[in-house]
Amino acid sequence: MKKINTPMKTVALALFVFMLFLTACEDPASNNNTPTNPTNTSDPTEVETPSNPLETISDDGRRPLYLQGVHATSSNYEVDFIFDGKNNTSWKSERGTASDEGIMLHFQNKIFIQKIAIEAAQGNGIATVNEVILYGDDVPCGKGKMGESINLGDTYSSLFIRFGKTDNTTEVKVEDEAKKGIVRKFSKSHSIAIQNIKMWDEDGKEYRLISPRKVDGRITATSTLKPISKYSTSHLFDNQKESAWVEGIDGNGINEKITFDVSQAVDIDEIQIWNGYQRSPSVYKTNARLKGFSLGEIGGKSYEYTLRDDDAGQRVDLQVPLKNKFELKINSAYDGSKYQDLAISEILLFEDGKPLQFRLKVVEYPNVLKAKGTNLESLLDTRIANEMDYRPSGFYADRSIILRSDGTFSMYLKEKLYAETEGGDGEVFESMANGSWEIKSANATKSIIKLTGKMVDLTAALASQKGNNEQAEAIQYFKDELTIENNLIRGVQVLDEIVIR
């Protein structure tokens, strides 16, 4: 077993090991495939699909709640369809992905949620979800069934809806001298789909959930760090603060520009920026951050603004509203402790207090191209799960991993240490991880990939919530290297093994 989920005697050692990885965790300049002095590269990010004009929110008895952002870990249809109030639209996952996929809701402020209900969509090729697990601000806060109300009764700044057990799953038995158990795989021809999400406030009044308005247009940067797919301007509007746009010139980005060309009418009077590369606290400090910038219509007057050196979202009132084509110019920067690359993780625009985002274009992902013809290709966008009894080693493990085509991953690990006396309950350690992955090498028999991510020690998080401060830190940042060979996925730092069948 690896260092994350261990008895208390080894927690200190685990934390020490992870600290060694923090300084390098997802640093753009530390990427071995990135030149030390990359050349200027333009980064056009197209945004497309039908426009969504600003609507007047009518009073239908529900309490309007404007979401700061929403994203799904897997999307075949836009996640915003969940909130459009229509019966003929829904969010749908990619085929082959079901359990452990989820939807993240970000709120502009902490809000009280009395209860929540998630309603499934129906149709051909849609699997039934039998379980929903909820995480408020990364801590488990509820569990229930689709279509039924799940009580929460607390305040949250974010809520992650994870989909649990489904039908259309096959099982293969595994048994050898070291382990005995089953491998589960979800059908490659099925998806899961959600029709609606309902939430209620402290007075029992239903919220009307309103996702940010999406606009069509084009975003370009005067430079982007290579590889462009990893540091593209598309990351500015992906609702994931762990990814970022990173400029690609020598120095810390002074005079570089991001241009926003909107193809429809807007009246932007505020902008919110999540500064720096927010993959981890270490990465934030390691790389340069935006300090002073100018913002204004192209061909018109630009106005200067200043950000604090702070990873919280900073909302700026604009002196003059932005209408069509405008640009942000970097005037000054906070120096990185190790690298000069300047990064911005996320941007949110506002019209009269209502959030607005650019619509992202779906592209061909580099990992998909590199995986073709290798033993990794069949594993993409598929959840692989194990329930294994490692009785000779003294523990039981329930593990799963999803490697997505877009370069993200999810991993869930639950391990139970058997008590020394036969029949004892033993200790249970549970954690979940997510982040990005990339291919180091791949062929028909062996592939090696690098994971960079954030792990939430759910056991420690629950203990801390109950006032037990003797547990390990709940959130840890890590790197791991996975080798896929001989029907096994093996890790070095976090993941022990997952059997493939």
Residue 20 has pLDDT above 80, yes or no: no
Residue 53 has pLDDT above 50, yes or no: no
When the pLDDT of each residue in the chain is averaged and rounded to a whole number, the result is: 86
Domain assignment present for residue 143? The answer is yes
> Structure tokens of 14?
């685990």
Residues 386 and 491 in one domain: yes
What pLDDT score does 501 carry? Answer: 85
Domain assignment present for residue 200? The answer is yes
Q: Please, which residues have CB within 8 angstroms of residue 204's CB and are 6 or more apart in sequence?
A: 114
Domain assignment present for residue 57? The answer is no
Residues 253 and 315 in one domain: yes
Residue 246 has pLDDT above 50, yes or no: yes
One-letter amino acid at 164 equals G
Domain assignment present for residue 311? The answer is yes
Residues 414 and 394 in one domain: yes
What pLDDT score does 287 carry? Answer: 96
Kind of pairing, strands 342-351 and 288-290? Answer: parallel
Residues 183 and 197 in one domain: yes
Domain that holds residue 102: 63-212
- Residue 337 sits in a domain whose CATH number is 2.60.120.260
> Structure tokens of 480?
């791991």
Instruction: Convert the pLDDT of each residue in 441-488 to its tens digit.
Output: 999 999 999 999 999 998 888 777 776 655 557 888 999 999 999 999
Residues 225 and 344 in one domain: yes
Domain assignment present for residue 460? The answer is yes
Instruction: Convert the pLDDT of each residue in 204-241 to its tens digit.
Output: 999 999 999 999 888 999 999 998 888 999 999 999 99
Residues 224 and 280 in one domain: yes
What pLDDT score does 27 carry? Answer: 53
Residues 84 and 207 in one domain: yes
Q: What's the domain count of the chain?
A: 3
Of 338, 358, 378, the residue that ends a domain is 358
Domain assignment present for residue 55? The answer is no
Residues 118 and 193 in one domain: yes
Instruction: Convert the pLDDT of each residue in 166-214 to its tens digit.
Output: 999 999 999 998 899 999 989 989 999 999 999 999 999 999 999 999 9
Domain assignment present for residue 2? The answer is no
Residues 464 and 337 in one domain: no
Residue 363 has pLDDT above 90, yes or no: no
Of 328, 358, 388, the residue that ends a domain is 358
Residue 297 has pLDDT above 70, yes or no: yes
What pLDDT score does 394 carry? Answer: 83
Residues 378 and 464 in one domain: yes
Of 335, 358, 381, the residue that ends a domain is 358
- Residue 19: pLDDT band (50, 70, 90) is very low
Residues 293 and 155 in one domain: no
Mean pLDDT, rounded, for 411-439: 81
Residues 394 and 468 in one domain: yes
Q: What is the pTM of this model?
A: 0.84
> Structure tokens of 449?
């990939």
Mean pLDDT, rounded, for 141-169: 95
State the SS3 of 412-433. EEEEEECCCCCCCCCEEEEEEE
